[in-house]
A = this chain, B = another copy of it.
Amino acid sequence: MSGFVDNRVTQLLGIEVPVIQGGMIYNSGAKLAAAVANAGGLGLVGAGSMRPDLFRDQIRKARTLTERPFGVNIPLLYPHSADCVEIALAEGVRIFFTSAGSPRRVAGPLKEADCVLVHVVASPVLARKCEDAGCDAVVCEGFEAGGHNGRDEITTMVLVPECVAAVEIPVIAAGGIATGQQMAAALALGAESVQIGSRFAVSAESSGHDKFKQAVVDAAAGDTRLVLKAQVPVRLLRNAFRDRIMDMERLGATAEELAAELGQGRARAGMLDGDLAEGELEIGQVAGLIDDIPPVAAIMTRLLDDYRTTVARLAGTQ
């Protein structure tokens, strides 16, 4: 009894409230996905940082934690991406969010298996390609989002209406959404649902390291920056590692030099092992608005209360 009127996205995904938890490496395991599902939204087990065996285990674990539908998020640029798609299908998952790479690669088998396919994009041109490829919806993720990001730097405020105008399929807004006010803004822009990353990363059920969560709580506005644009752009929280990368970029470092400095395993070091100085700390610009580490149920209650208050406030402007 969420009080939300069904729309195309809630019907497509079989959820009560139009809130989707983003796939986030080292943060979105079974516990987080199940908690979001139990709170009425769509939880996603994120394959991005998992080997296929662990991914299978997490899908199975999520099933023991919720009776509601949940989905998976699979970035399509890894060598084992195809394996992850097969595993999820075999495990009975019917909701697939994909990102990076082209959804064309997987659309055939997924549509044959009657699955829902949603791809994450950062431009209206790519949104149209997803529609042509047979996607059921697109997540339009703005420049302010954490983690890996588009090259065009289009913000959520502009990207969402651009994509709504570009495609017939429903648009899900992502990037800069952690509060009910921001959720109302996203729906005002024409999105039919929101995908929330950072706010759910900093929850009791996220699998990120406590030190990482606390670093986000301590962060202020302006503490994140999009870096490594010559490689795969990624939004990171300020630390010693990121400051070095920004200095190198300012001085015109080559892609090879930046790759060497980046090395291997920094995302795991930062977000799973809690190395706040030398790890990659992927988080959105909304970090400055995140001040606590509550359970998902409390986040959802606050989000929907603030959404309702905001909509009522807007109705009172005229």
Contact = CB atoms under 8 A, between A and B. Distances in A.
A155 B286 CA distance: 10
A48 to B, nearest CB: 24
Contacts of A184: 185, 188, 314
Nearest to A287: B158
State how many copies of this chain the complex holds. 2
Interface string A1-34: 0011101000000000010000000000000000
Contacts of A308: 318
Nearest to A317: B5
A123 interface: yes
A310 B188 contact: yes
Given A5-B318, A314-B311, A175 B188 contact: no
30 contacts: A4-B318, A123-B221, A123-B222, A143-B153, A143-B155, A152-B221, A153-B285, A155-B155, A155-B156, A155-B157, A155-B285, A157-B182, A157-B285, A158-B289, A159-B221, A181-B190, A182-B189, A184-B185, A184-B188, A185-B188, A185-B189, A187-B317, A188-B310, A188-B311, A230-B250, A252-B252, A311-B315, A311-B317, A314-B314, A315-B315
